[in-house]
Amino acid sequence: MYMYQRLLDSGWMTDGGIHIGSASFHPFALIRETNLGMNTMLRIPQGERSAWRFSLTLYSPMSKL
């Protein structure tokens, strides 16, 4: 898993990540046994103690081919 986070000059925060995995006894032997996931998030401060948080998650499970 790889994650990245950044605090912007405006006080907003953004982050994202990628996850690659294999559901096999022989990891990554076949491309169809590979799982891929991605996510991203945006945090927008509202006042001193609260914030709006938006996120998007994409996930690709194993193919049944």
- pLDDT tens for each residue of 4-43: 999 999 999 999 999 888 877 777 777 777 888 999 999 9
Place of tokens 């996850």: 19
Is 45 a residue whose pLDDT tops 70? yes
Q: Which helix (H) or strand (E) holds 3?
A: strand 2-7
Query: pLDDT class for 51, splitting at 50, 70, 90?
Result: very high
Q: What share of the chain is helix, strand, coil (3-state, %, to 5)?
A: 5, 60, 35
User: Amino acid identity of 29?
Assistant: A
